[in-house]
Chain A
Amino acid sequence: MLGVRCSVFPLLRSWILATSLLLSASASDSPHWWTARSVLDTNAVPNDYAAVNQGQAKWMAAQAAGELDRLLPGGAGQAVSNLLAGFTASGNDLPLNLGQLKALAAPFYDRIHAEGFIDALPEDLPGPYPWTEAPSDDNDFAIANIGQLKRVFGFDLDMCFDTDNDGLPDGIELRWGLDIANPADAAAPSTHPWAHGLTNLQVFRYPGVLVAPAHSTAGDGIPDRWKASLGLDANDPSLAAGDADGDGYTLKVEYDRQSHPGIDDRVAFLIDTSAFSLKWNGFDTFAETTPRVKYSTLVQAWDAAITNGQGLDHVSGGSTVLRDRRTGADTVRGWGTLVPTPGTDLYGGGDVVREPTLLIQDAAVWSIFEWGEEDWDGDGIPDAEGGHEQVDLIGDNASTQTLTQVYTSEAFWQNFNSWFPALPGQFAVTTTAAVDVASLSTNVNLHSGKKVQYKISLDSSPHNRFVSWMEIFTPWNDPATPENESASPEYTFRHWPDETHNDTGQEETPVYTIDPLANAPLRVGTYDLRLFPSCEVVPDFDRNGAITDADRLSRRRGNPLRIWVNDDRDRSDDSREAFEDAPAGSYEPGSMPTDVASRSMNFMDQRVNGLRDLVDFFPVYLDFPFDQLPPGAYTYWLKQQDSAVKYVYTSLKPSEVRGVHTNAVYGCGVNSDTRLDSALSYWPNGQAPLWAEGPSFGPHGPLDQNWLAASNRVLMIEGSAISTNPIVFEVRRGADLVLSCQMALSVSSVRDMFRYLNVRTNDVLFTEPDQSLLWTPFTHDVAKVGLWPTSLSEPANLPDGAYGEPGLPRKTLVAIHGVNWDENETPAGHAEVFKRFFQSGSNARFIGVSWASDSGRRMGQPMIYYTDVIGAFVASHYVKEGLAGFWGTNTMIFAHSLGNVLASSMIADHGLEVGNYFMINAAVPIEAYDGVPAMSEMMKMTPADWRVGPAGSEVNRFPWISMAARWHSQFTSPDPRRWVGWDDRFAAVASGIQVHNFYSSQEDVLKGPRPDGALPDLGLALGLLRDALNGLLPSAWHLRWAMNSVYNAEQTWVYSEMTKGNPGRLADFALLPHVHGGWAFRDSSLRDTNTPIAGPMFGAFEARDDRCKLWDKASWLYAPDGSADVQARLSHYPLTPAGTDTNWLNRIKNHAKLLAEAIPSLSGPVGGSPLDKVKNVNMHSACRDAAFWPARDEVDKPNRWLHGDYKNPAYAYVYRLYDQCTRIIEGASP
């Protein structure tokens, strides 16, 4: 047992370290008394696993006793006091075992239980104490650790009090720094960054909101945050299926469509007969979905209704004209006043009753005000009282939500039924001639989940501007043919209420007429009225693979579908030709290979051009009940004024359009018999030529009837011209327009949908040729900007607020390409990656970074990519600067291949802060992140001459320090030579940011070293390249082929590392690793102020020079003389510009030049291997498990995820990579 006299405590207390993050979920912070009583030191590094000593335990116990004294009636009690009295000063450094801990804590718990302060105890206790009762699992002699002490003494008596009665226990208020005497702070907004305007009380009740923005405690897919913001109980799992407002939408559905769960979203709102005025914000593009208003003839002072969102003609008391000063266009917003005469019987007398009923399509955008209240633009001039007022549309985004009176749909339907009292449910036709139907059935077949809108077509009479046209009926209980009751319908009738005023403004009793079709005479019988949902053209705005109510909502708000022109030249399912993805105008004419340039741009021909082309297609759903209408009676048209889209028939359902980007899709085309990737694509209105002048309306090119009848009406569209005019869908009977609707559209070049940073020409000096490595008189090409210079302003066709959840921080994705991309290939590459992220549903701002990674190629040395490594280090400074303002924890980097040197240098050397860093097939040595690997690994990268020992357990033959790769280890910071080595070069990368290493265990270019450590023979590739560069290949095409074969060879990276320092020339390359492993590096062009270094940096060696065995003579870099030269020319670390040193950039280049050309890696590349402490994703598994992978020949590395496979195979093969990155970006999974 423990024994210490109390007076010794102040000398012996020790600090207990702050809570680690390991153990608990969101809201279990440390009890406040730990900090108030100095038990906890929040500045120290947490170490819950460290053993706790008796002194710490006694201090904790003493403070705990103080808490009990303070808050329990009767204080800590006799048992605890006895315990404390028994403490002695000795043994404070001794460890504490579990038995002692339990004995120490038990009296406290007994006391708390005795007073009944159960709320103070930690959660999840197995019994009265925080340990199990059964002795069988005890290990009382085990050493206790700090975490266990904290757990046991984790009770908090303040949790039993709520001094200010505000619902927040004092314990919580103290932890959060609130005032326990102030009741108002419970309702104050929480300062937690994720609380999003929730109050402290809500955050306390629903701790799930602190876990993640999308966290759902109930596991029902509805974030706690959303529920809490609506005052719902986020911890209650039964809410998701509930329907508080009774509109048929469960809470989950209400969340998905972002409507209010307490507001009835269904069709109709029956307005009370007391005086009111109503106002709505009808949008221009609403077309058919604009609500209709019916009103009684007995109501006075009511006039206009709205038709198709067009202008109101009547102004007396009924409309407000809103003028958009930007465009000069006027839109009329309707409002009306209904003041029924008191005592009037609105239902009586054979009249067709029109109740003041407003059918509201979208509750969120409508307002109902009491009479006299409205002043729409808030300028003090009332909108009502018969005048109309010019209101500026700018800034007038009226979307108010307060409905003062809402009636449930049930009430509406009850009233609706009573409007037509004569024939409940049915009406009779008693003659086969044209029939005036005064009252109609009310068996409403309300399509669930859809808004209903109905319109009555009126009889044609000279003064009535509506055309009478009729539909055919579905027979119901036809007494003449009882056997036909379940037969397919002969007739269907469609009926919409509409305006009931004629041209002269007189109100008129509508007469509903049914005209028989010529070939389908009306039959005597009883018929049913059906109401059809309205027509809509809906795209997949959020690109989540399904066309849902959320997309409908977005369309109704007038949001345009933003797409790009399909102006690239995809051809197949799998391609390594970068120029196939080049947007128009992004490349110098002549730079595109002729075989690609000779193809037309994808939108111009008549087909979908392979699986790769599908990334340029977007689904659009025609929501209209085609199957309920008679075939042949109507024609359906898709139109676009500028021929800016083409469409493809599919048999996809709107809930499953995701299949386009995850698999091959069958059943497409007019006859539903073609694969989507080769189906025909049509211009709307038929095969209109590309250069048609003006809008092409006309009775040709309707949508195929059979397809409409048989399919589910999803079309895939591609952009074919720049336009902001809508897609229009029309239903016509003959030449007459029956019904139409629109979808707002915005097509632009893909360039106008993302940002671009171009640093190619920021610094050309480092690309001057290294004379010792040239062998033929190639001219040296200077880097060029190309046709896409930097553009960082908001993209015109994808504004930053266009998608994504408002209120959440905007995310940014910076894409950095790899090695050997010139200024004409980079727009193509970035456009393709942008498109894939866009289709994966990413709402992050996309920035493509173009840096000069082709300097090797421009110098005629594509094989030696060392110059490009230098380029990556130099460019990292310019990229970090160039994107200032975009960095931060909401920015992600997506870097491929050598781009990872650039990105890692930005983070490690220039202190860049980002949120997530996605490494894709990274061409960086493993040791840069993980440190020096095991000896057996290093031997695989070491030249044979440097190895001794039996195969499989070889060791280094010479002292370590004699290796170029280890030269840096003899220096210490701040000597800049300490950093001229790959070992730990980017160690800073993994800490503080989330790094994801997307690698492939079956990489080709980044294939790891051979198990026997031999130098790979690049064989054909090298031979061809050698001939090319010696001028032995007949054409530039052959040169390209040769270079492609180099970059498509396997183990190119390992080869480059193992042959570093070879003093020979490419033409002389023997298939041997250089025996000096970097030491023979020779350069005369390190940059410096005025005096470039003359002569070689390293000693010149012959091959297999035995002198290297004597390491102190291996290079005069070791000797004091000469090393000062190097040191003076190198950069400090980190590589940031400092002070008044105007040559800091040259220092960076010198540092990079040594690293790139002289210091070999002793480990394999990251792109083919997992790393130690970051999240690794083996992309090869994705292609293996998917069983949907391009078919490649036996000579083309089949069934492997290769170096460029994030981009070369069609998106549908590799979508998982983009999906995973997008989910991480959006915060859905850590």
Chain B
Amino acid sequence: MRSELRVARVILSLALCGVAGAAEWRTAKIGVRVVDDAGQPVGGAAIGMGVTGSGPKGIARGFTDTNGLFAARSTMVGSLYLRAEKSGYYLTSGELWDGPSSTERAPPTNQYTVVLKRILNPVPMKSWRVDKALPRFDQDLGFDLEAGDWVVPHGAGQVSDVIVRASYRDNGARDYEKKLTLFFPSALDGLLALDGPDKTSLAVASDLPVPQIAPLAGYTNGWLYTRSRRPGEPPMANMKEPGRQYVFRVRTRTNETGNIVAANYGWILGDFDLRGPAIDLMMRYYFNPDPHSRSLEPSKF
């Protein structure tokens, strides 16, 4: 049985601005400028913008002009979502503004710049979603990034691309210490950390969160991740949460003069998370099996 309504009067319209009450939403005109990763404006990009919860009237769709500009107006009753796409570029989408609050009625800025990354050279890449328990603690374990598995005898991998070592002191739910060390057998191998939005969070991000071509320098050979807790304290960890990507370089081969002649590149989505009942190696990554290619663009995501 539904509750009875006292129908005192019929509402004239349910348009957004007609709703009674203390809430006053601002109408804002939002401008978007789309550029590519080289900084050039992108014309003819298909834009979709919407204010969450505002119904069909809150959707704006169109194309950027030759200067890469697009603008639309809406009442800001919810968060602001944007999607930008064009053939030849990776889709970029996400939340431009997280909605009205007690301190903010409209987005703080009216002009947003959105980057579309060009599709340069997609190559077949091996993609792995790894979630493997550590077979041993306090022992160096090799992990084969191409095979996505531990090196024999703990798995089916053949080449130790990265050495993993973990230690776990577990005194209970509120008292523990986890350490995960990654290091790479060759001095030129390593991880390069990039901080920037990816699709795990709501922020605007490109489908390709890393550069199209792996950089040549900046790889660090050893990494330590910790997560610990003492009774009465919140957990402490040195991970960066969503918003970090790594580019990796492994199996580097150099010539006599020390120049790199071959290496396998790839990228890891997200940081290493040591949450959980034990220590697991959890990675979502792409591996380029061609040692003469620095492309980080998977032909199939």
**Which A positions have Cβ atoms within 8 angstroms of B?**
22-23, 49, 776-779, 781, 858, 860, 930-934, 937, 944, 987, 990-991, 994, 1001-1002, 1010, 1012, 1014-1017, 1019-1024, 1026-1028, 1031-1034, 1036, 1038-1039, 1045, 1048-1051, 1069-1073, 1170-1176, 1178, 1180-1181, 1184-1185, 1187, 1193-1200, 1230
Contacts and interface: CB of A to CB of B under 8 A. Distances in A.
A1178 B52 contact: no
A1010 B202 CA distance: 12
B249 interface: no
A1023 B21 contact: yes
A1001 B103 contact: no
B122 interface: no
B275 A1171 contact: yes
B19 A1020 contact: yes
Given A1023-B19, A1172-B235, A1200-B202, 5 more contacts: A49-B169, A779-B3, A1016-B99, A1198-B81, A1230-B133
Nearest to B82: A1194
* Majority secondary structure of chain A interface residues (helix, strand, loop or mixed): loop
10 contacts: A777-B6, A778-B4, A937-B234, A1002-B202, A1012-B101, A1017-B102, A1039-B5, A1050-B99, A1176-B273, A1196-B50
Contacts of A1051: 99
Given A778-B4, A1070-B22, A1181-B284, A987 B173 contact: yes
Contact of B199 (A776, A1019, A1021, A1184): A1184
B280 to A, nearest CB: 8
B96 to A, nearest CB: 11
Nearest to A1194: B50
A269 to B, nearest CB: 42
Interface string B76-108: 011101110000000001000011111111000
A5 B82 CA distance: 80
Contact of A1019 (B1, B2, B78): B78
A1198 B99 CA distance: 15
B55 A1174 contact: no
Interface string B237-262: 00000100000000000000000000
B277 interface: yes
B196 interface: no
A931 to B, nearest CB: 7
Interface stretch (B9-17, B29-37, B113-121, B216-224): B9-17
Contact of B22 (A937, A1039, A1071): A1071
Contact of A990 (B21, B55, B173): B173
Given A930-B235, A1039-B2, A1019 B11 contact: no
B122 to A, nearest CB: 15
A1024 B169 CA distance: 53
B270 to A, nearest CB: 9
Contacts of A1071: 22-23, 101-102
B39 interface: no
Given A49-B169, A931-B234, A1023-B23, A1073 B99 contact: no
A1027 to B, nearest CB: 6
A1027 B20 contact: yes
Contacts, number: 185
A1034 B176 CA distance: 58
A1175 to B, nearest CB: 6
A824 to B, nearest CB: 11
A1199 B82 CA distance: 12
Given A991-B173, A1001-B201, A1185-B129, A1036 B2 contact: yes
B190 interface: no
B32 to A, nearest CB: 13
A285 B255 CA distance: 74
B37 to A, nearest CB: 21
Contacts of A944: 102-103
A616 B52 CA distance: 32
Given A778-B4, A1195-B59, A1197-B52, A1073 B200 contact: no
Contact of A1194 (B16, B49, B103): B49
Contact of B53 (A933, A1019, A1185): A1019
B51 interface: yes
Interface of B: 1-11, 14, 16, 19-23, 25, 48-56, 58-61, 77-79, 81-83, 93, 98-105, 129, 133, 136-137, 168-169, 173-174, 176, 199-202, 229, 234-235, 242, 273, 275-277, 284, 301
B4 A1015 contact: no
A1198 B83 contact: yes
A937 B7 CA distance: 44
A1016 B137 contact: no
Contacts of B16: 1020
Contacts of B55: 1195
The 10 closest A-B pairs by CB, nearest first: A1194-B50, A1031-B6, A1014-B101, A1017-B100, A1195-B50, A1019-B77, A1023-B19, A1020-B77, A1015-B102, A1014-B103
A23 B173 CA distance: 20
A1032 B77 contact: no
A1010 B79 CA distance: 12
A1194 B173 CA distance: 42
B100 A1019 contact: yes
A1027 B8 contact: no
B173 A1050 contact: no
B73 to A, nearest CB: 14
B3 A860 contact: yes
Contacts of A931: 174, 234
B284 A1049 contact: no
Nearest to B133: A1230
Contacts of B3: 778-779, 781, 858, 860
Nearest to A784: B1
Nearest to B25: A1019
A927 to B, nearest CB: 9
A737 B101 CA distance: 74
Contacts of A1017: 23, 99-102, 105
Nearest to B91: A1199
A1049 B5 contact: no
Contacts of A1050: 52-53, 78-79, 99
Contacts of A1184: 199-200
